[in-house]
Amino acid sequence: MGRTQERATTHPLDPLDASEIAAVASIVRAYDGDGGGLADGHRFVTIALAEPEKAAVLGWADGGAPPAREAEVVILDRRAQETVEALVSLDAGAVTAWRRRRDIHPMAVVSELMEAEEAVRLHPDFQAAMARRGVTDFDTVQVDAWPAGHFGPEDETGQRLCRAVAFIRPRPGDSEWAHPVDGVIVLVDLNTLEVLRVEDHGVVPIPAEDGNFDAETAAPLRDDIAPLEITQPDGPGFRLDGRVLTWQRWQVHVGFTPREGLILNRLSYDDGGRRRPIMHRASLSEMVVPYGDPGPTHYFKNAFDGGENGVGIAASPLTRGCDCLGEIAYLDAVVSDAEGAPVPIPNAVCIHEEDVGVLWRHIEWRDGSGEVRRSRRLVISSFSAIGNYDYGFFWYLYQDGMIELEVKLTGVLSTGAVAPGVEPEHGTLVAPGLNAMVHQHFFNFRLDLDIDGTRNAVDEVWTESLPPGPDNPHGNAFRPRRRRLASEREAQRTVDTRSARWWEIVNPGVRHRLGAPVGYRLLPGGTTFPFAQPDAPVSKRAGFMRNHVWVTPYRPDERYAAGDYPNLHPGGAGLPEWTSADRPIDGEDVVVWYTFGHHHVPRPEDWPVMPVATAGFLLKPVGFFERNPALDLPPPHPHHHC
């Protein structure tokens, strides 16, 4: 059954709760230290915990004083057309830093996009474009506003802009994505809500077939689904103390931010009574979805769903029996709205256990004797609904010390219309006249690994075949090779399946009983490379796509792979900028940034709602344990030989 967490003493990495968010907003509104404070019409973009630096958290964990509790606040001052970055001390109840900036644009605010959509829907030029398509009931028009990106024209530089496209929703509850209005794009100034330009590139018939996928539409439903129940009569095997989660040998603090969503902090493993650190912090750093259609309605669709929209802000409440099965505990989240008021997201994070088949097994073929152990994993998950897509972020902890991150991609395809008889060149027909564009999803995860301490290094490991000769007389010889990555530029690496390339994060100062450094192996899952040209605007803005692996020395202000403010940014920020210094990383407190991609050429089977696709990576212990750490698992019950 579902349970919510019990409140314990505040952990220094606990997200702000509702009362803290409300207090921070009140403190900020009362501040007049810059000579005038905030003008009417300001919007709060984010109010979040200003996380203490690692040294302060480690000191607290060793029995020291708790770090100062602070909030970082981003505010859009629409009248001044400035962004305010504020730091608020919750201990002192005061603003301790206040900075106004004109050189950046913070992420989109839901309320400003909705206001822009309404301004577009009511604009006479837009309504005239709809009328040319036979649409006169404007209550059926659904406008979809996208951050405008950065494409260079002078009249689009410096302003806070969105580009809006339209869909038709014939009846309330219908899927708008089945009825795209192709060829109409509207440019809007988000600060003034002025419609700057309505472009009409020609009438294409609006697809008529519905794309609804509710139970009533799908009827008759299958009647051959046998009940499947997952029960734990003695309750779950994990324990929550506030947001500190303990399960078997694992312990982790479960965090959450408006931008990143689900975060794992202070991940460690109890190895024979000794708690060994593995990872200080793991989070989604950025994600981007570049579309491959160059047409005027679609070329700008390059959503940075972290830095432009906020994965945490878009988190959806989870439902027992739908999103999660079994004996479940939930963690809530709280974000803020444009007025600075707290917005609770109940059941934002789901925690439960899963049986995942055989963990290890050996049966003697001569006499049938042997041993089998089943595998169980702890699941920590959340879902975010961003526009047409739904993204599930699933962290798995296994009994053998393995860690897995899996992203589940589902939702509804982004669509456009094509004329009758036209076969789309940059997409797939999924219904008559309905084009689902080819696109990619790139995710970058920031992994602040601390393998048995903060001084780590990264080795690249690959396998090579030996040439024929005296050392390989039968042609069968191959061997692993290894090299230490010494600097940031050297550590900009890509996946190579021909050489079975992976990376090992090791602690050179801690060696296992056989003499090699302890470590964890980063194993790529399925991934891809970007197809956008290197000088394309999206490639400049999402430079992190160029490499699957980046490594940097830990810096508390280097948090997001595309920089702090990718919205409307011309590009080059984040990892490309930081690593240009080519700082040393051997034996440092390193952060590994791993990028992986999902390449999506849509299928008819992806319509009208897309079955889940997955992408991710593994972290496997390599020399971290002296031998299989899951030997002590009890046999299945009842105990018998296979």
DSSP 154: G
Q: How far apart are CA 414 and CA 242, in angstroms?
A: 39
Catalytic residue from among 291, 299, 330, 389: 389
The dihedral over CA atoms of 568, 574, 578, 579, expressed in degrees to the nearest 10, equals -120
Cα separation values, 281 from 1, 57, 97, 262, 391, Å: 29, 11, 25, 11, 21
Handedness of CA 300, 606, 285, 588 (dihedral sign): negative
b/e burial code for range 616-627 (CB count within 10 A of at least 16 → b): bbbbbbbbbbee
Q: How many CB atoms lie within 10 A of CB 213?
A: 14
Q: What φ, ψ does residue 18 adopt, rounded to 5°?
A: -60, -40
Amino acid making up residue 515: G
CB 378 within 8 A of CB 396: yes
Q: Phi/psi of residue 633, each to 5°?
A: -70, 140
Catalytic residue from among 144, 174, 182, 305: 305
Q: At a CB cut-off of 8 Å and minimum separation 6, what does 454 contact?
A: 54, 58, 280, 554, 589
Alpha helices in 172-285 (DSSP H): 215-218
Give the SS3 label for residue 541: helix
Q: Is 305 a catalytic residue?
A: yes
560 is catalytic: no
- Measured CA to CA in angstroms, residue 640 lies from 364, 371, 373, 399, 413 at distances of 15, 9, 12, 21, 50
Residues comprising the chain, all counted: 642
Cα–Cα nearest to 278, from 288, 268, 263 = 268
Active site residues: 305, 389
